[in-house]
């Protein structure tokens, strides 16, 4: 994404963490001459994180983090890879280890550059640990997990094209969205039919047909919900996320979509040709519908309450706006906004205690698991756990004012978080209540345990089988995973 370096209030940088930052004046920006900190940030955007680490730190810590020089130990241990070391690492780099010859880099590096050093170390660690330990491996088809043993079965291996989401109807039929715009009907592991007459989508980069979700009372009301990228009315090459519901008229294994109602759509001036960051999972709870929209590559709009980008929204399941939404009385604000400052939430789920969780993409490093709170700001693009794709520093994760909601867990490096569900049902009682989160570029499925909103443990269940697009727990508790490259659906079943 494109961004400029002068968006951040100087006060934020200068007071940053209460630590010494070179070039900061407490008087704030002066209109006549460029503020020294914005000059520093322009210089910072030219920093190459890898080169800086190699030149400055490599002689002691090794260019791969292996240690050995200047009395250093390896950084590449499972313990040091844990997120609990983020802040201690940052502080050590800032303050140095004078007794061992490591200087205080806070005197020559900005906080953003120091955080970028931590991100770089995380990338080195991940590479080294993957080379040493690999991913989960089966023995005689059985994966020995830390809390439950499982097998992986292929469910569907043909007939799908970039499958994006999975849901089930009460009669056991499985519905799968294909991103280019078709909705497949799957029975017994085979694509046996499709739903025709669904809205026309535009497959714009990461956008297209996204979520499918049956209403919790589907048996009684027959409502099926879809989220998708709708082509613009004035400019058909542009698009924006839209949510609709409709009903199915069956004819054998094929169904006709009818009685469509719009649940949520935005004004045409929001439609854009950007091919990134669309959201959009649907979550039902107590008559409400929650869903996320990505910022479409326009980070500043994630902070703008008048824009639909980069938000979690909450409406009634028929699309009406609840009067207790946090910004219904804020002038100009979009009334459906429930929380803001999101980059691209592609995972959303409600836990058994009514906690709403999202997973979302950072740029390079710093994908997040957030507990979503009413009216809260999740910080993007002003605070992030990542660096830029081009290896230059971005910003620091911590907000000195304490107003920004922090993730309960962050993936560093990024996994390309996509797809999230809650372990429940009979198949894996030992996982009950845990988050099951997928990764596109990480090609992983992680089980993450939270307690009272806090991270407890992470276990990688799948690695390297394809890009994980959706995770969906079936009514029997087995865990379905939609993959792409190759396009297929697999599932985790208990080993015994
Ligand atoms: C002159 C050698 C030297 C240089 C140069 C150096 N360090 Fe260190 N660093 C050390 C020593 C010695 C320690 C403490 C022993 C250890 O943890 O291995 C340390 C500790 C650390 C730690 C804490 C490690 C832990 O296990 O808790 C981090 C993180 C770190 N350094 C990062 C950096 C970064 C980033 C740079 C470059 C900007 C850098 N260091 C430059 C010598 C060096």
Site residues for ligand 1, CB cut-off 6 Å: 56-57, 59-61, 67, 70-73, 75, 80, 89, 92-93, 97, 100-102, 105, 117, 121
In this structure, the residue with its CA closest to atom 35 of ligand 1 is 117
User: In Å, what is the CA distance from 147 to each residue of 130, 143, 144, 369?
Assistant: 21, 11, 8, 21
State mean pLDDT over 235-245. Answer: 96
Ligand 1, closest atom to CA 73?
A: 18
Ligand 1 centroid from CA 47, angstroms: 20
Chain segment 473-482, per-residue pLDDT in tens: 999 999 999 9
Chain segment 256-278, per-residue pLDDT in tens: 999 999 999 999 999 999 999 99
- Is the pLDDT at 3 greater than 50? The verdict is no
Q: Which of 3-7, 298-302, 356-360 has the lowest mean pLDDT?
A: 3-7
Residue 34: pLDDT band (50, 70, 90) is very low
Ligand 1 centroid from CA 125, angstroms: 14
CB 279 within 8 A of CB 292: yes
Q: For the chain, give every domain's residue range.
A: 10-133, 140-494
State mean pLDDT over 34-38. Answer: 49
> Positive or negative CA dihedral for 430, 436, 439, 443?
positive
Residue 41: pLDDT band (50, 70, 90) is low
Question: The CATH number of 10-133 is which of 1.10.3470, 3.30.70, 1.10.760, 1.10.1790?
Answer: 1.10.760
- Is the pLDDT at 40 greater than 70? The verdict is no
Q: Which of 25-34, 281-290, 469-478 has the lowest mean pLDDT?
A: 25-34
Catalytic residue among 61, 120, 277, 313: 277
435-439: strand order across its sheet:
417-422, 435-439, 444-451, 454-463
User: In Å, what is the CA distance from 191 to each residue of 18, 158, 161, 188, 286?
Assistant: 58, 8, 11, 8, 33
What mean pLDDT, rounded, does the chain reach?
Answer: 92
- Is the pLDDT at 62 greater than 60? The verdict is yes
Q: How far apart are CA 296 and CA 389, in angstroms?
A: 16
- Is the pLDDT at 104 greater than 80? The verdict is yes
Q: What is the CATH number of domain 140-494?
A: 2.120.10.30
State mean pLDDT over 331-337. Answer: 98
10-133 and 140-494, same CATH topology: no
Q: Say how many C-beta atoms besides its own lie within 10 A of residue 33's C-beta.
A: 8
Chain segment 359-400, per-residue pLDDT in tens: 999 989 999 999 999 999 999 999 999 999 999 999 999 999
Chain segment 130-188, per-residue pLDDT in tens: 999 999 999 999 999 999 999 999 999 999 999 999 999 999 999 999 999 999 999 99
Q: Are strands 356-360 and 345-350 parallel, antiparallel or unpaired?
A: antiparallel
pLDDT of residue 292: 98
277 classed as catalytic? yes
- Is the pLDDT at 37 greater than 70? The verdict is no
pLDDT of residue 409: 98
State mean pLDDT over 211-234. Answer: 97
- Give the contacts of 123 (CB within 8 A, at least 6 positions apart): 365, 412, 413
Ligand 1 centroid from CA 61, angstroms: 6
Q: How far apart are CA 208 and CA 317, in angstroms?
A: 22
- The pTM (predicted TM-score) of the whole model is 0.91
Q: Are strands 311-316 and 288-293 parallel, antiparallel or unpaired?
A: antiparallel
């Amino acid at each position: 994404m494109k961004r400029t370096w002068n968006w951040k209030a100087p006060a934020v940088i200068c007071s940053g963490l209460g630590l010494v930052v070179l070039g900061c004046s407490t008087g704030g920006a002066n209109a006549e001459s460029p503020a020294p900190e914005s000059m520093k940030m322009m210089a910072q955007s030219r920093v190459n994180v890898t080169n800086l680490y190699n030149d400055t730190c490599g002689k002691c810590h090794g260019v791969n983090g292996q240690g050995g020089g200047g009395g250093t130990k390896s950084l590449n241990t499972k313990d040091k890879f844990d997120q609990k070391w983020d802040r201690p690492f940052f502080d050590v780099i800032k303050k140095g280890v004078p007794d061992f010859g490591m200087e205080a880099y806070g005197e020559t590096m900005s906080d953003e550059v120091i955080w970028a050093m931590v991100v770089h170390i995380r990338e080195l660690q991940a590479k080294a640990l993957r080379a040493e330990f690999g991913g989960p491996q089966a023995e005689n088809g059985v994966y020995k997990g830390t809390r439950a043993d499982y097998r992986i079965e292929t469910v569907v291996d043909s007939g799908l094209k970039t499958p994006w989401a999975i849901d089930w109807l009460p009669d056991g039929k499985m519905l799968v969205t294909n991103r280019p715009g078709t909705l497949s009907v799957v029975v017994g592991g085979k694509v046996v039919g499709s739903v025709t007459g669904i809205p026309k989508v535009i497959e714009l980069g990461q956008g297209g047909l996204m979520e499918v979700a049956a209403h919790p009372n589907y048996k009684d009301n027959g409502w099926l919900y879809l989220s998708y990228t709708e082509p613009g009315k004035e400019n058909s090459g542009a698009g924006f996320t839209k949510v609709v519901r409709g009903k199915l008229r069956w004819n054998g294994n094929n169904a006709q979509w009818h009685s469509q109602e719009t649940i949520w759509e935005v004004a045409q001036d929001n439609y854009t040709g950007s091919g990134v960051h669309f959201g959009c999972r649907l979550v039902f709870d107590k008559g409400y519908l929650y869903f996320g929209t990505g910022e479409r590559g326009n980070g500043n709009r994630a902070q703008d309450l008048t824009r639909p980008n980069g938000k979690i929204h909450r409406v009634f399941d028929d699309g009406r706006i609840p009067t207790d939404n946090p910004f219904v009385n804020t002038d100009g604000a979009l009334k459906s906004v429930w929380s803001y400052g999101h980059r691209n939430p592609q995972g959303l789920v409600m836990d058994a205690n009514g906690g709403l969780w999202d997973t979302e993409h950072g740029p390079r490093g710093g994908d997040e698991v957030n507990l979503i709170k009413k009216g809260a700001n999740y910080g993007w693009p002003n605070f992030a756990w990542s660096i830029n794709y081009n290896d230059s520093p971005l910003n620091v994760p911590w907000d000195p004012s304490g107003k920004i909601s922090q993730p309960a867990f962050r993936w560093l490096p990024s996994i390309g978080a996509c797809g999230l569900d809650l372990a429940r049902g009979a198949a894996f009682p030992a996982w009950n209540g845990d988050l099951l989160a997928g990764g596109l570029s990480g090609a992983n499925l992680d089980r993450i345990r939270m307690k009272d909103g806090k991270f407890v443990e992470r276990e990688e269940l799948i690695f390297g089988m394809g890009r994980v697009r959706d995770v969906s727990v079936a009514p029997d508790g087995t865990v379905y995973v939609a993959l792409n490259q190759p396009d297929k659906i697999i599932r985790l079943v208990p080993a015994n």
